[in-house]
Amino acid sequence: MTAMIMSDGDKGLINGKAILGKRIVQTYCCFHTCQNFKAKFGTQLMEQLFWEIANARSEAVYTIRLPDLDAQRSEAANYLCGIDA
């Protein structure tokens, strides 16, 4: 049996992940991730670029959008790339 844990990146789910181990698929809630992203990098442009990346429907679109974010603010791109998904 496999379970899915959807996270906003808060440390509260670490115990669940530790208990279920390899029987889980972990995903991240884009809404909550965006809230954390806005709190850290809070501009309208950063939020817009976040959603363009999050809504990318192909790897090709993703690979176009991520450098746009990196060009605006590299630490914001590094933050998103550092999320363990």
pLDDT tens profile 1-41: 555 556 656 666 666 667 666 767 767 788 988 998 999 99
pLDDT at 41: 92
Q: Look up residue 26 and give its DSSP letter.
A: E
**Statement: residue 70 has pLDDT above 90:** yes
Q: Is 24 helix (H, G, I), strand (E, B) or coil?
A: strand
Q: pTM for this structure?
A: 0.71
Residue 38: its pLDDT value, please?
92
Please write the tens of the pLDDT for every residue from 50-61: 999 999 999 999
Averaged over 65-81, what is the pLDDT? 93
- Considering Cα of 14, then 15, then 18, then 21, what sign does the dihedral take? negative
The domain ranges of the chain are 3-81
